[in-house]
């Protein structure tokens, strides 16, 4: 029988989606599931974006420029300038989601066997993308006791080798909700310059910062880092347009952008209608962001209030994004998550969570879960109550 590739065998299952079959069985059994497992916002996509697609005047759905429509790249550069990021359309390459932006980035700067250092826990697909690119993820562990703040720079330096090509961070963080400070970003920037490698920042949650004493600071705002900085971005969460699959690579390093363009040409072009929607979304009023952020902040606060009523757990209060890591007083969170779907309900209702082990490459986090607080406030209150009841029942089995 023909063999599957080693790469394919090593490709991890999504920790967010691997329990879907059990959820489907639970629904078939008549249970209602509150989905805390996936970051799919229920906020409405801006009407201006939907209308732009409905009212298009295209007679042919043709290829766009491989780097994306020029008009979209110009609007993106204007958007970045509002955030004190000075880039031009030439510094932006539109991709099919932030996922493709990460794949293009890894393909442009690494060779098989190279290494990328990543603070963990990290977005699970970083491990998938590195497997596709035959790159080794080298974890530096951040701790729930420290709110998942940046580990000491000395810990990063311990892992730097001749094969190190980049440090990759998510800011604000998925799955932790941590927002790196300006001082922490500067420490990473100094390290990238000292050892002459890249600093990649996944900034798809840029707007989602909830506390007055916390501000997002982009690596593209850092002076002197122009040749080292690569930003990965997406419209998915910002405008509640996950299905549009529009992201981008942003860098002032011309060689990086020229190389990424080769990958872009190989896949021809990003999707036409999604680019139309994304360009229109960039016209939303600032009030859109204000309202969305206030909504997520209130959801964050409801989640934290509910978690405080659950005995013997640990959690870090998220300052951004819409995720929270919770450490449970159990041995295996995946078993618990599956049990909640198969064996537990309260009045016909249960919850689905994401086991956090899949957000670690070091196999830590086995007793942690990630919660996405994307449900409306009424459902979120109910979901945290069910989680409390379910954990009590699980521990008393």
Burial classification of residue 202, based on how many CB atoms lie within 10 Å of its CB (0-12 exposed, 13-18 middle, 19 or more buried): buried
368-372 and 323-327 as β-strands: parallel, antiparallel, unpaired? antiparallel
CB 329 within 8 A of CB 394: no
CATH class of 57-281: alpha beta
Q: Where in the chain is the domain with CATH 3.40.640.10?
A: 57-281
Does residue 363 have a pLDDT over 80?
no
Q: Where in the chain is the domain with CATH 3.90.1150.10?
A: 6-44+287-395
Quick one: CA dihedral 19, 20, 25, 31, positive or negative?
positive
pLDDT tens digits for range 304-339: 999 999 999 999 999 999 999 999 999 999 999 999
pLDDT tens digits for range 2-27: 999 988 898 887 776 789 999 999 99
Q: Which residues contact 142 (CB under 8 A, 6 or more apart)?
A: 119, 120, 121, 148, 149, 150, 151, 176, 178
Does residue 201 have a pLDDT over 80?
yes
Task: Classify domain 6-44+287-395 by CATH architecture.
Answer: Alpha-Beta Complex (3.90)
H/E segment holding residue 223:
none
**Dist CA 80 CA 85 (whole Å):** 5
Residue 362 pLDDT grade (very low, low, confident, very high; cuts 50, 70, 90): confident
Which pLDDT score is estimated for 22?
Answer: 95
CB 374 within 8 A of CB 41: yes
Q: Which two tokens stand for residue 131?
A: 């497997």
Residue 345 pLDDT grade (very low, low, confident, very high; cuts 50, 70, 90): very high
């Amino acid at each position: 029988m023909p063999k599957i590739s080693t790469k394919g065998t090593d490709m991890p299952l999504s920790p967010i989606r691997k329990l879907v079959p059990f959820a489907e069985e639970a629904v078939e059994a008549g249970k209602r599931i509150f989905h805390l497992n996936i970051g799919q916002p229920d906020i409405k996509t801006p009407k201006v974006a939907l209308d732009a697609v409905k009212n298009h005047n295209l007679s042919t759905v043709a290829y766009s420029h491989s780097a994306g429509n020029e008009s979209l790249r110009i609007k993106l550069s204007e958007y970045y300038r509002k955030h004190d990021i000075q880039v031009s359309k030439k510094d932006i390459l539109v991709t099919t989601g932030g996922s493709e932006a990460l794949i293009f980035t890894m393909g442009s700067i690494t060779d098989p066997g190279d290494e990328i250092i990543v603070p963990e826990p990290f977005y699970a697909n970083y491990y998938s993308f590195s497997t596709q690119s035959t790159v080794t993820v080298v974890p530096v562990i951040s701790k729930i006791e420290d709110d998942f703040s940046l580990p000491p720079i000395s810990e990063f330096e311990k892992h730097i080798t001749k094969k190190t090509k980049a440090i990759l961070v998510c800011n604000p963080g998925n799955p932790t909700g941590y927002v790196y400070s300006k001082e922490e970003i500067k420490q990473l920037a100094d390290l990238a310059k000292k050892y002459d490698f890249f600093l990649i920042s996944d900034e798809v949650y840029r707007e989602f910062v909830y506390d007055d004493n916390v501000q997002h600071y982009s690596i593209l705002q850092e002076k002197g880092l122009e040749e080292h900085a690569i930003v990965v971005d997406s419209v998915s969460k910002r405008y509640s347009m996950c299905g549009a699959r529009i992201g981008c690579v942003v860098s002032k390093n011309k060689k990086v952008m020229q190389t990424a363009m080769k990958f872009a040409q190989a896949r021809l072009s990003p999707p036409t209608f999604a680019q139309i929607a994304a360009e229109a979304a960039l016209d939303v009023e600032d009030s859109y962001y204000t309202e969305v952020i206030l909504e997520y902040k209130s959801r964050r606060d409801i989640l934290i209030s509910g978690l405080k009523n659950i005995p013997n757990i640990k959690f870090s209060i998220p300052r951004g994004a819409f995720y929270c890591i919770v450490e449970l007083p159990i041995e295996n969170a995946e078993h618990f998550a599956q049990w909640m779907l198969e064996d537990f309900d309260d009045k016909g209702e249960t919850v689905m969570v994401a086991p956090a082990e899949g957000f670690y490459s070091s196999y830590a986090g086995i007793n942690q879960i990630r919660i996405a607080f994307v449900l409306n406030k009424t459902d979120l209150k109910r979901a945290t109550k069910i989680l409390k009841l379910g954990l009590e029942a699980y521990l008393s089995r």
